[in-house]
Amino acid sequence: MADLIEMSVDSIRVHMPTGQHVVILKEKTAERYLPIWIGINEANAIALKITGMTPERPITHDLLANILGAVDINVERIVVTSLANEVFYARILAHVDGRHVEIDSRPSDAIAVAVRVGAGIFVATEVLDRAGVLPEADQEGEPGETDEETTERLAKIRDWVNELNLPDLGGENPLSQS
């Protein structure tokens, strides 16, 4: 597998103009972030577990984690493996009966499972290099980029971030739009 970078879930946010949800992964050893658009159900599933809220009955991702545990499948980590046509792809890496298995998954579902079973969250270096966001720009920009290209790229990132609702997880309602 390609070089991997360990991440953690930083927050779940709502893109106000569209109402779409975004999970923000943060590089564990640096200040680089990876935003991934996700559905509301997956956003709720991730947020519930991270904030320590327990639903009265198991939701789908709880059920999956319970089934994995019941049949002794040990989820080692999840990996966001690629990005093609603006779609992220992920794999759940696990062990069962001494065998290594890789299961194709949407990143949102893989993350929701990972936070439930305590598995590591990783992103392929290539994916993070392509889609990662830095909070502050390097003065020099990307290799081969002119000052004008750097300014334009940063303006697009700034505009995108400014459109997001930025509540931190840990409040009473991690998906609030206020």
What are the pLDDT digits (tens) for 122-159? 999 999 999 999 986 544 545 555 566 666 666 666 66
- Give the C-alpha separation, 41 to 81, whole Å: 22
Flag whether 39 is in a domain.
Answer: yes
Residues spanned by the domain of 75? 4-137+147-165
pLDDT score at 135: 81
Flag whether 14 is in a domain.
Answer: yes
In degrees, rounded to 5, the angle at the alpha carbon of residue 163 between the alpha carbons of residues 114 and 115 is 10
- Higher confidence at residue 167 or residue 11? 11
In tens, the pLDDT along 80-105 reads 999 999 999 999 999 999 999 999 99
Flag whether 171 is in a domain.
Answer: no
Number of domains the chain is built from = 1
Flag whether 113 is in a domain.
Answer: yes
Q: Which residues of 61-75 are buried (b: 16+ CB within 10 A; e: fewer)?
A: bbebbeebeeeebeb
Flag whether 38 is in a domain.
Answer: yes
In tens, the pLDDT along 48-84 reads 999 988 889 989 999 999 999 999 999 999 999 999 9
Give the CATH number of the domain where residue 128 resides: 3.10.690.10
Flag whether 142 is in a domain.
Answer: no
| Residue 104: CA count within 13 A, CB half-sphere | 3
Flag whether 108 is in a domain.
Answer: yes
The distance of Cα 122 from the centroid of its chain, to the nearest Å, equals 9
pTM of the model: 0.75
Secondary structure of the chain as H, E, C letters: CCCEEEEEEEEEEEECCCCEEEEEEEECCCCCEEEEEECHHHHHHHHHHHCCCCCCCCCHHHHHHHHHHHCCCEEEEEEEEEEECCEEEEEEEEEECCEEEEEEECHHHHHHHHHHHCCEEEEEHHHHHHHCECCCCCCCCCCCCCHHHHHHHHHHHHHHHHCEECCCCCCCCCCCCC
pLDDT score at 123: 98
